[in-house]
Structure 1
Amino acid sequence: MQRWIDRIVRELRTVLPGEAVARTSRATSLVERNREIGPVPFVWSFLFGTTQPDGSVTKVQDFYKTFTEHNAAYSSIQQWITPELKTLLTEIIAHLSVELGGTEHSLGGRFDRFRDVFIADATDCTLSAESFEDFPGYGDDHAGARLHVIESLTSRAPFFTSITDVRTGELSQLEIGDWMANSLLLDDLGYHDYGKIAQIDEQGGWFVNRLKVDSNAPITDELRRWRGNAISLEGRNLQDVLPDLHRSEIDVTASFDTLSSESDLLPREFRLVGLRHDEATDGDDAPDADHDYHLYVTNLPRKWFKPREIAALYSNRWSVETLVQEAKSVFGLDEISVRRTDAIECFMLASMVMVLLSRYLLRQIRAGLGSACCGSVEEETETQPMSFSKRLQWYGTDVLETLAQQFGYSWDPGLAIIEGAIDRNMNRHALTERVAHGTVDPDLTNASELATIRPG
């Protein structure tokens, strides 16, 4: 196994060179002067220490001690978990996203006409109730943070956008700009807003968005003509005709009210597609409405994509959903126990860094399987990202050990074992002994004075 660990570590040092980590640490002001704690072993200890099943600041401290043989105090580790560390982790995410994009081929096929395909999503992380003030949750006794990301389907890499409380809607964090030019955006109902899709259209971009089941847009034209005594949809509102329809698909243009820059409502026409839920491919449950259709709004022309192809395009949202699930189930994004805002945000970003590193490693190993193994590793079509991430986490200490050795450290867990076993409450036990066997002045009124009791 060691040759594969060695290869993994070589790839890690290639994509995140120690010199670059140290330089970026100084550029982000995480390191302002020479300090006892080194940025390179700290970053690696933080990434692996926070994303273990028992991820915590104490775990980071233990990994750092083992990595460097330096008896770093818990408070010293805490002092590094700052807004500057958040900036550094954000820079690392951006760098890894670019690296992943550079190793991936174009999507090809139907996607050839797009520069890229983006998928916006958000996921919630449960926090300690004591974090409620900064991260209010769904109820008065719940705290939660929300990570907002946009995934590039070309690189299969997420781009970090923001971290908010769970009460902040996804839509408010999606800023449409020139990055959408000639690209396709796949959005779910959390991003449903006619103004946003109008902005995408104005930027020269494309979109497929789920439409609310109760949308009642007026239909202006039918893009497919049905034979026989078919119900005419033109000139009618959507909800007036849906309950009576039995056709397999709907393909029309409809008018939607969008906000202008002066906050006036302006009607815009977009394509409206409906597919009966038993024929849709996006994997969602049947709509909770008095009709049987999954509804989509898009500006993709019919000559490019028929209704079933629109539904198939939208089904590619599974990609970001599996990525988020990977971060939550493998790298600790589901629940975080730290309480400080800086620590919460840094822990969440660390999980995304680990997902990106795992995707990068898997891609590099797949690329070299032909020359690096003799059938002992799964083929590309069988090696799944989630399975690889789980094993990377399971053998995280082996990876860290090899990293430490390649950086010139010895990797000795003895210090962390002995230091971690020291009782931090010795004074409390001594106080118990003094109370049990000493002389207590009945006139003492200040509880802190109990600490001065001496054995009688």
Structure 2
Amino acid sequence: MRRLTTLFPSEFLEEHAEELGVVERDRKLQIPAFIWAFVFGFAAGESRTLAGFRRSYNSTADESISPGGFYQRLTPTLAEYLRDLVEHGLDEVAVPDAVDADINRFRDVIIADGTVLRLHEFLSEKYEARHEEQAGAKLHLLHNATDQTIERIDVTDEKTHDSTLFKTGSWLENRLVLFDLAYFKYRRFARIDENGGYFVSRLKQNANPVITAELREWRGRAIPLEGKQLREVLDDLSRTYIDVEVEVEFKRGPYNGTRSLDTKRFRVVGVRNEDADDYHLYVTNLSREEFFPADLAQIYRCRWEVELLFRELKTQYDLDEFDTSNEDVVKILLYAALLSLLVSRELLELVTEQAGDEIVFPPERWAATFRSHAQLILHELGEYLGYSPPPLLERLIEDAQKIHQQRPILQETLATATQPRCES
């Protein structure tokens, strides 16, 4: 338990809650119990409802909170507070990886990616989706594969393009960025190069640059490529690798109301996929002297790390199923999911330290194990923090009773409907 309370000390949770105005002066709400109830309540699948979160809190804190008192806490300020906790946790927790490519040459390797979260259709005006009569949010991440942290999180509507959130600048110096096709833009690649950074991206299907030079010599009667457009020669090639320099044309950013045309030379590498009888094509500014085509393909596989993060959030935490029409609750649940993931990773690191060197913990198996023990961990954490919740029987009576006296329960409604009409 000490590991978790070091990650999020109770004093820090309380002080920051007061700074933002999450708690009131009466201090009836016990913030540490409230936060941990969200973290472990979200991890436990059966508690992933607002009523479930309240029950998790009431089973942990010294004093219970009513449904009305709980729901009125679900505000934009609470969403902001949880986001701050996520950013704090990201600075403290390393996300395990499986990178075996040689990336020590760079200051950092950054992976940019995003994933779509499907929301209640009533939120379609705020979270506009690509298709009508739907609502969708998009979670954008900048994942640092070198430090094993997430450097930036953004939440937008589904229509916001991933590339608009990636800003170039001096921060890119000596950093390698791995892009998927959502970020493909020659101007962006040029700006990264001009800021002393590096990039590797898949080449778009409709991209057809002119080959200016071959970077590898081929024996025998190899097809000459210089001066030809890339797509014109692909079908005629059977070599294992393609390694060429290309020239691309793009528009610079607006200046005095106009956008000038410019050209830049990059490197395009192709690695043959025998199963599909075609090439995986990459565009980069990394030199052949340091990175052969097979090296680039291996480095690009680092992107699989962030895909695994998204997969875990969606499969283990059902992050893409938000059954609420409240915008603030969507953000609260999103940040609660990320906090659960961070706490899970922190406990995995602790378990790995305590286990033998020969023991391996597959990520998905660990996630399922963490979820199944979440309520037990929350119970022990509450005891560690010194909380004395009411007796179990009292909690059962409080949680199971009918809340709205004016609202008949189903059995009452059926009994009334089936009474003999002869009495009237």
Common fold: TM-score over 0.5? yes
**Aligned Cα root-mean-square deviation (Å):** 2.8
**Are 1:327 and 2:313 an aligned pair?**
yes
- Give distance in 1, aligned partners of 2:344 and 2:87: 15
Aligned pairs for 1:139-288 (under 5 A) are 139-262=131-254, 263-278=259-274, 286=276
- Give distance in 1, aligned partners of 2:297 and 2:331: 35
Question: Residue 379 of structure 1: CA displacement?
Answer: 4.2
Question: Residue 339 of structure 1: CA displacement?
Answer: 1.9
Name the aligned partner's letter for residue 88 of structure 2: H
Moved more, 127-136 or 303-312: 127-136
Question: Residue 144 of structure 1: CA displacement?
Answer: 2.0
Name the aligned partner's letter for residue 417 of structure 1: L
Aligned pairs for 1:439-450 (under 5 A) are none
Paired residue secondary structure (1:72): coil
Question: Residue 436 of structure 1: CA displacement?
Answer: 8.9
Aligned to 1:340: 326
Conserved in 2, the CA contact under 8 Å of 1:93 and 1:160?
no
Return the TM-score normalized by structure 1: 0.83
- Give distance in 2, aligned partners of 1:360 and 1:155: 15
- Give distance in 2, aligned partners of 1:213 and 1:334: 29
Conserved in 2, the CA contact under 8 Å of 1:93 and 1:159?
no
**Are 1:44 and 2:41 an aligned pair?**
no
Could you report, residue by residue, the CA deviation over 1:339-367 in whole angstroms, capped at 9, with x for unpaired residues? 21111012112111221221122123323
**Are 1:97 and 2:90 an aligned pair?**
yes
Question: Residue 394 of structure 1: CA displacement?
Answer: 0.9
Could you report, residue by residue, the CA deviation over 1:376-416 in whole angstroms, capped at 9, with x for unpaired residues? x4646611233222211111111111111111112454444
Conserved in 2, the CA contact under 8 Å of 1:152 and 1:158?
yes
- Give distance in 2, aligned partners of 1:177 and 1:82: 35
- Give distance in 2, aligned partners of 1:52 and 1:399: 11
Question: Residue 68 of structure 1: CA displacement?
Answer: 1.3
Name the aligned partner's letter for residue 71 of structure 1: S
Structure 2 unmatched runs, 5+:
none
Instruction: Summarize the Cα distance change of 1:425–1:346 in structure 2 as closer, same or farther, 3 Å threshold.
Output: closer
- Give distance in 2, aligned partners of 1:234 and 1:414: 81
Conserved in 2, the CA contact under 8 Å of 1:120 and 1:185?
yes
Instruction: Summarize the Cα distance change of 1:161–1:39 in structure 2 as closer, same or farther, 3 Å threshold.
Output: same
Aligned to 1:427: 406
Aligned to 1:88: 81
Structure 1 unmatched runs, 5+:
1-8, 280-285, 370-376, 438-454
Name the aligned partner's letter for residue 83 of structure 2: T
Aligned to 1:417: 396
Question: Residue 330 of structure 1: CA displacement?
Answer: 1.6
Question: Residue 58 of structure 1: CA displacement?
Answer: 0.9
Name the aligned partner's letter for residue 99 of structure 1: E
Question: Residue 157 of structure 1: CA displacement?
Answer: 2.8
Q: Which has the higher contact order (CA 8 A, sep 6+)?
A: 2
- Give distance in 1, aligned partners of 2:265 and 2:40: 50
- Give distance in 1, aligned partners of 2:264 and 2:404: 68
**Are 1:16 and 2:12 an aligned pair?**
no
Question: Residue 428 of structure 1: CA displacement?
Answer: 3.7
Name the aligned partner's letter for residue 78 of structure 1: Y
Paired residue secondary structure (1:68): coil
- Give distance in 2, aligned partners of 1:167 and 1:405: 45
**Are 1:399 and 2:385 an aligned pair?**
no
Could you report, residue by residue, the CA deviation over 1:154-190 in whole angstroms, capped at 9, with x for unpaired residues? 2333334211222222112222333322111111111
- Give distance in 2, aligned partners of 1:177 and 1:341: 33
Conserved in 2, the CA contact under 8 Å of 1:104 and 1:155?
no
Aligned length: 413
- Give distance in 1, aligned partners of 2:381 and 2:53: 15
Instruction: Summarize the Cα distance change of 1:122–1:108 in structure 2 as closer, same or farther, 3 Å threshold.
Output: closer
Conserved in 2, the CA contact under 8 Å of 1:219 and 1:235?
yes
**Are 1:117 and 2:117 an aligned pair?**
no
Name the aligned partner's letter for residue 362 of structure 2: Q
Instruction: Summarize the Cα distance change of 1:34–1:426 in structure 2 as closer, same or farther, 3 Å threshold.
Output: closer
Could you report, residue by residue, the CA deviation over 1:218-259 in whole angstroms, capped at 9, with x for unpaired residues? 111111111221111111111111121111111111112233
Name the aligned partner's letter for residue 270 of structure 2: G
- Give distance in 2, aligned partners of 1:38 and 1:329: 31
Could you report, residue by residue, the CA deviation over 1:403-446 in whole angstroms, capped at 9, with x for unpaired residues? 11111112454444322322245424399689999xxxxxxxxx
Conserved in 2, the CA contact under 8 Å of 1:51 and 1:332?
no
Question: Residue 117 of structure 1: CA displacement?
Answer: 0.9
- 1:73 counterpart (40, 61, 66): 66
Aligned to 1:450: none
Aligned to 1:357: 343
Conserved in 1, the CA contact under 8 Å of 2:271 and 2:279?
yes
Question: Residue 325 of structure 1: CA displacement?
Answer: 1.1
